[in-house]
Amino acid sequence: MTTKRPLKLVNSSKPGSDVAAETAAALASASLVFKKTDSTYSSTLLKHAKQLFTFADKYKGSYTKSHPEVATYYNSTGYGDELLWAASWLYHATGDTTYLRYVTEENADKYAKVDGPTWFSWDNKLAGAQVLLSRLSFFGDKGAKGNSGIDDYKKSADELMCALLPDSPSATASRTKSGLIWITKWDSLQHPVGSAFLAVLYSDYMRASDNETLSCGDDSFEPSDLRKFAQSQ
């Protein structure tokens, strides 16, 4: 490959909370994968995930503001969703309630309050965080017990699933005549693929927790409905 690939970096003077937090989320989730088979490697991943999250939270800013020249290619619209995404994974990886408070208290008001569903994509992780945190509600996580903020994320995740289901009374109109989720013309398949992934994951949560009913207005849906939607995408 002869294409030039210039290196960009983020630091305290040129922050990139979105990039750093997204990397922290990836490392934290990977640490869970290797926890039983390679505990040393898992610990290394988690260590750096924590460091990157601390950096992302301390030096807030978007990488496309620090490096405007990259905005033409992958322009980040914000970093709050990545901070919530990273903290959500770090809570799952560590059980440290500091991360849980991060996503349910002040930062929830800052970054998680939206009108209507958001769409999971490379630029927006909020829907992913909502579904991941709903897992705590589904399975009765001890650290999340009595935390109303988790209930809010669960409610938002329910609303997202209802928006995805084509027969739901609150089904989104953002789809083609054939039913494909359609948000933007550019890189158009990222949203239906991301939506399908979240729908399958949510259906797994429903089945595993013996909570097999999703209420959308006056209508009820089952995990199989979410899987049918995912297959259609």
What DSSP letter does each residue of 124-170 carry, written as one string?
--HHHHHHHHHHHHHTT-GGGTT-HHHHHHHHHHHHHHHHHSTTSTT
pLDDT of res. 79? 96
pLDDT of res. 117? 76
Domain ranges of the chain: 12-66+74-113, 115-233
Distance (Å, whole) CA 38 – CA 20: 24
pLDDT at 131 over 70: yes
Q: pTM of the prediction? A: 0.94
What is the band of 115 on the pLDDT scale with cuts at 50, 70, 90? low
Listed residue (144, 6, 160) closest to 69, CA to CA: 6
pLDDT at 114 over 70: no
pLDDT digits (tens, 9 = 90+) for 198-212: 999 999 999 999 999
**Residues 66-85: what's their mean pLDDT?**
93
**CB 203, CB 226: distance < 8 Å:** yes
Distance (Å, whole) CA 220 – CA 233: 21
Listed residue (159, 95, 109) closest to 130, CA to CA: 159
pLDDT of res. 54? 98
pLDDT digits (tens, 9 = 90+) for 179-189: 999 999 988 99
- In the chain, % of residues over pLDDT 70: 99
What is the band of 108 on the pLDDT scale with cuts at 50, 70, 90? confident
pLDDT of res. 148? 85
What is the band of 146 on the pLDDT scale with cuts at 50, 70, 90? confident
> For the chain, what is the mean pLDDT?
94
